[in-house]
Amino acid sequence: MTPFQRVEATSIEETLPAILLRIVSELHDVAYLIERIEPQLLDVGGAGMMASPEAMKVVQGIDLAVQKTRGIAEFIDTIAGAMPEGWTVDLATALSLVKLTEMQKALGGGSFHAHSQPVAKAAGDFDFF
C-alpha cells in the first residue's frame, strides 16, 4: 500500500467518541514529534542560537505549537468523554481525504492507541513517498 492510496468509499459507521479518541491520540503524536525538533535545532545552531531574536522566535513558535496541539487534544478528549456513546458517523469520505496510509489506519479503526507515527522508529528510518 502506498502512502497516497485511499480507503474505499464504502460506508464505515463508527461511534463518534471512539473516532475523537483516535484523533486525540494522533494529536499527542504530533505534539511529541514537534517537541523533538527543538533540541535538534539547538544542537545544530549551537549556544549562540539563543542570542538571536529570530532564532528565539522560532524556538518559542515550536513550544507554542506543542502547547496548542496538546490543548486541542485535551479539548477534544473532554468533549468525547461527555458525548453519548451511541452517536455514530460515516468515516468513509473523511478517511478518503487522509493522504498518509498509516494515519488512515490509525483513524479508521481498531484501537485508538494505534499511532500512525511509530515514536520508537530507529534513526535513519524513512518512508518513500
Q: Which residue has the cell 499527542?
A: 28
Q: Which residue has the cell 455514530?
A: 88
Q: Per-residue pLDDT tens for 1-53?
A: 455 444 455 778 899 999 999 999 999 999 999 999 988 887 887 777 778 88
Q: Could you tell me the residue ranges of all domains in the chain?
A: 20-87
Burial 92-113 (b: 16+ CB within 10 A, else e): eeebeebebbbbbbbbbbeebe
pTM of the predicted structure, to 2 decimals: 0.73
Q: What is the pLDDT of residue 46?
A: 77
Query: Is residue 59 within 8 Å of residue 51, measured between CB atoms?
Result: no
What is the band of 129 on the pLDDT scale with cuts at 50, 70, 90? very low
What is the band of 112 on the pLDDT scale with cuts at 50, 70, 90? very low
Cα separation of 115 and 12, whole Å? 20
Cα separation of 19 and 122, whole Å? 29
